[in-house]
């Protein structure tokens, strides 16, 4: 009796664990996981917003171009900070940076299908403020 | 010399046992037989409690599947948020500091 009861409980637990594992694997997004593990945000864009080869190439081109522009903004802001420029000047540079980022994100969204573009903007625009990172512009995540 | 007849055969022939009827006798026998079989194999144990065992397996299956689904979706959301934040932060010149 006790042996059978314990066996039953073990079998029930095994069924629960198996169901958990199958549902976890089936419901997950393996490509997204790989992109997150590799820190590849552009690959994430491709997968997340269902970009075909042409759209992805256009988005990548925009991204590369903006990375150069971003480096220029970055250098200007750092130079202003290092020479202790007036706060208004730094604020103006930062506002310019925000405007450029917003315009860039809208350009990227325009390369996507309409619904995906809206979803993209809803995801990235609220994140423009409040992040920190170091170094040159990159789409690689910190390890 | 005369022999009196042995009364025992007559007595035995007239002896009738009339125990009070036990309404649970058959069921008791079946239960004892069943308990013996159930103690022997898990299949018999489970058959005897089929509704309970089936219910436990059903709950485990559904509960496990729902748990796995929720966990997977939470991880997808977490990955998505992390990637989106990193993507935006990677293009935010305001947050950059000189590489040393």
CB contact under 8 A, A19 and B46: no
Q: Is the pLDDT of residue B1 over 60?
A: no
The pair of structure tokens assigned to A125 is 């625009």
B90 φ/ψ angles, rounded to the nearest 5 degrees: -70, -15
Task: Look at residue A17 in the predicted model and tell me its pLDDT.
Answer: 97
**DSSP assigned state of A140:** B
Which of A37, A60, A65 lies closest to A49, judged by CA?
A60
CB contact under 8 A, A4 and B95: no
Q: Is the pLDDT of residue B99 over 60?
A: no
pLDDT mean across residues, chain B:
84
A45 close contact with B: CB closer than 8 A: yes
B37 or A4, which is more confident?
A4
Task: Look at residue A75 in the predicted model and tell me its pLDDT.
Answer: 83
Task: Look at residue B67 in the predicted model and tell me its pLDDT.
Answer: 96
CB contacts of B69 in chain A (<8 Å) are 23-24, 27
- Binned at pLDDT 50, 70 and 90, residue A24 comes out as very high
**DSSP assigned state of A125:** G
Distances (CA, A) of A70 to B34, B41, B75, B92, B96: 80, 72, 31, 7, 10
B36 close contact with A: CB closer than 8 A: no
Percentage of chain B lying above the pLDDT 70 cut: 85
Q: Is the pLDDT of residue A142 over 80?
A: no
Handedness of CA B83, B84, B85, B90 (dihedral sign): positive
Chain A residue with the nearest C-alpha to that of B53: A8
B50 close contact with A: CB closer than 8 A: no
pLDDT tens by residue, B59-87? 999 999 999 999 999 988 888 888 888 88
Chain A residue with the nearest C-alpha to that of B71: A24
CB contacts of A101 in chain B (<8 Å) are 88, 91-92
CB contact under 8 A, A20 and B99: no
CA distance A138 to A133: 10
CB contacts of B85 in chain A (<8 Å) are 127, 131
CA distance A127 to B88: 7
pLDDT tens by residue, A69-116? 888 888 888 888 888 888 888 888 888 888 888 999 999 999 999 999
**DSSP-based three-state secondary structure for A67:** helix
Beta bridge partners of A140: A40
Rg (CA), chain A: 23
- Binned at pLDDT 50, 70 and 90, residue A67 comes out as confident
- The angle that helices A41-48 and A30-38 make with each other, rounded to 10 degrees, is 160
The pair of structure tokens assigned to B8 is 């025992």
**Contacts of residue A82, Cβ cutoff 8 Å, sequence gap at least 6:** none
Write down the ipTM of this complex: 0.74
- Binned at pLDDT 50, 70 and 90, residue B3 comes out as low
Q: CA of B29, closest CA in chain A: separation in Å?
A: 18
pLDDT tens by residue, A36-57? 778 788 888 998 898 999 999 9
B2 φ/ψ angles, rounded to the nearest 5 degrees: -115, 150
How would you label A82-99 residue by residue, b for 16+ Cβ within 10 Å and e otherwise?
eeebeeeebeebbeebbe
**Portion 103-122 of A in contact with B at CB < 8 A:** 104
pLDDT tens by residue, B12-63? 888 888 888 888 888 988 888 776 655 568 888 888 889 999 999 999 999 9
- Per the CB < 8 A criterion, the answer to whether A90 and A77 are in contact is yes
- Per the CB < 8 A criterion, the answer to whether A27 and B72 are in contact is yes
Chain B residue with the nearest C-alpha to that of A137: B90
Q: Is A138 left (phi over 0), alpha (psi -120 to 50) or beta?
A: beta
How many residues can be counted in chain B?
Answer: 100
> Which of A12, A27, A36 is facing B79, going by the closest CB pair?
A36
């Amino acid at each position: 009796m006790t042996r059978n009861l314990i066996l039953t409980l073990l079998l029930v637990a095994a069924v629960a664990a198996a169901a958990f594992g199958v549902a976890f694997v089936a419901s997950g997004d393996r490509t997204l996981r790989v992109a997150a593990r590799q820190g590849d945000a552009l690959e994430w864009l491709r997968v997340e917003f269902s970009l075909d080869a042409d759209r992805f190439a256009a988005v990548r081109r925009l991204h590369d171009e903006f990375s150069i522009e971003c480096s220029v903004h970055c250098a200007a802001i750092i130079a202003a900070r290092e020479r202790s420029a007036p706060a208004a000047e730094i604020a103006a540079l930062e506002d310019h940076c925000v405007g450029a980022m917003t315009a860039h994100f809208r350009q990227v969204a325009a390369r996507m299908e309409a619904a995906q573009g809206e979803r993209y903007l809803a995801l990235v625009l609220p994140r423009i403020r409040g992040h920190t990172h170091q170094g040159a512009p990159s789409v690689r995540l910190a390890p | 010399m005369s022999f009196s007849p042995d009364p025992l055969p007559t007595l035995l022939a007239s002896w009738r046992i009339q125990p009070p009827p036990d309404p649970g006798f058959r069921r008791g026998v079946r239960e004892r037989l069943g308990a013996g079989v159930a103690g022997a194999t898990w299949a018999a144990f489970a058959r005897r409690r089929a509704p309970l065992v089936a219910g436990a397996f059903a709950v485990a299956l559904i509960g496990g599947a729902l748990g796995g689904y929720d966990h997977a979706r939470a991880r997808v959301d977490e990955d998505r948020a992390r990637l989106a934040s990193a993507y935006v932060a990677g293009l935010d010149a305001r947050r950059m500091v000189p590489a040393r």
